[in-house]
């Protein structure tokens, strides 16, 4: 049976007991409204740990003033059942007050320079500060040996890896594969904001990413690939924030096409902002 914990002392006692028994602790942080993508992270963490903690916390500090914090979908009962079925042992449910004891305005802020400022960081100022601020607290609360994050949030994973190295958290970070709907749309809690009318259009993102990969591998310049990707998305009704090809560390590639790359897109369809990427 999964145990739901709302008290930090209880969480610490459980984890300390596991560690005394020599067990490896895995962690999957989430904002709830869970889907198969999250459950795949629990299963991934399970392959690297003996016990799993997952948190559900809709973190106010990572939402911009005009973003969807108050309407972010909350489905606690389904989340608990799904986590249990996926193999989670403890569901950690911090309150805003316990996460930010001095209030959000006085919270010690964790800022990871460089990678946080690119792409998402440019369109969502302060977003990664909020993510790092909450994830560092969650790491201190849970004290896992290993933690799993989805590769759909490619830049988030890169920012967290940098934070973990820089702040010397003794935690192994795993990146879980993107889980997709049957038609290729990357699973996301925000997909449910798409109206039935525009939902079919959302699959264009994946098709454009694959076309960007194909064109780049066939020798097209990065500038051409990016311009064509953005044009295809706009033609399909998206408002494009970016459609880019980057090095794995999100730096800009030079003229050489050698080595690993990632194509990333962020674009709005109606009022819903979607992100996706393809690594190659």
Question: DSSP assignment, residue 239?
Answer: E
- Positions in 43-72 near ligand PAF (CB under 6 A): 59, 62
Binding of residue 274 to ligand PAF (CB under 6 A): no
- DSSP sequence for 165-214: HHTT---EEEEEPPPB-TTSPBP-GGGGGS-TTTGGGGGHHHHHHHHHHH
191 a known binding residue? no
Per CB under 6 A, the segment of 18-26, 42-50, 130-138, 192-200 that binds ligand PAF is 130-138
212 a known binding residue? no
Binding of residue 94 to ligand PAF (CB under 6 A): no
31 a known binding residue? yes
13 a known binding residue? no
Total number of residues that touch ligand PAF (CB under 6 A): 10
Active-site residues: which are they?
38
Q: How far, in Å, are 204, 226, 237 from residue 201 at the CA level?
A: 6, 20, 8
116 a known binding residue? no
φ, ψ dihedrals at 184, nearest 5°: 100, -10
Binding of residue 30 to ligand PAF (CB under 6 A): yes
CB of 47 to ligand PAF, least distance (A): 20
Among positions 15, 25, 31, 158, the unique one binding ligand PAF when judged by CB under 6 A: 31
φ, ψ dihedrals at 13, nearest 5°: -65, -40
Residues ≥6 apart with Cβ < 8 Å to 59:
31, 99, 130, 131, 134
- Strands of the sheet containing 262-269, edge to edge, are 239-246, 262-269, 272-279
Binding of residue 32 to ligand PAF (CB under 6 A): no
Among positions 79, 153, 241, 276, the unique one binding ligand PAF when judged by CB under 6 A: 153
Q: Annotated binding site for (R)-pantoate, which residues?
A: 62, 156
Q: Which residues bind ligand PAF (CB under 6 A)?
A: 29-31, 59, 62, 131, 134-135, 153, 156
């Amino acid at each position: 049976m999964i145990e739901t914990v709302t008290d930090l002392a209880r969480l610490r006692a459980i984890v300390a007991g596991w560690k005394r028994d020599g067990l490896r602790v895995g962690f999957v942080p989430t904002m709830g409204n869970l889907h198969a993508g999250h459950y795949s992270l629990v299963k991934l963490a399970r392959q690297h740990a003996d016990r799993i903690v997952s948190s559900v916390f809709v973190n106010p500090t990572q939402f911009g003033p005009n973003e969807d914090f108050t309407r972010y979908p909350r489905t606690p009962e389904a989340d608990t059942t799904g986590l249990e079925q996926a193999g989670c042992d403890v569901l950690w449910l911090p309150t805003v007050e316990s996460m930010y004891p001095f209030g959000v305005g006085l919270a010690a802020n964790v800022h990871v320079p460089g990678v946080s400022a690119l792409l998402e960081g440019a369109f969502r100022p302060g977003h990664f500060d909020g993510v790092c601020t909450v994830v560092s607290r969650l790491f201190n609360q849970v004290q896992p040996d290993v933690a799993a994050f989805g590769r759909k949030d490619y830049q988030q994973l890169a920012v967290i890896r940098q934070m973990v190295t820089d702040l010397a958290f003794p935690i192994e970070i795993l990146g879980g594969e993107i889980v997709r709907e049957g038609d290729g749309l990357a699973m996301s809690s925000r997909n449910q904001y798409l109206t039935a009318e525009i939902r079919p259009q959302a699959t264009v993102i994946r098709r454009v990413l694959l076309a960007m990969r194909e064109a780049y591998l066939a020798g097209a310049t990065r500038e051409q690939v990016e311009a064509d990707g953005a044009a295809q998305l706009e033609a399909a009704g998206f408002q494009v924030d970016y459609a880019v090809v980057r090095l794995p560390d999100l730096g800009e590639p030079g003229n050489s096409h050698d080595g690993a790359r990632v194509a990333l897109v962020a674009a709005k369809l109606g009022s819903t902002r979607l992100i996706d990427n393809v690594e190659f």
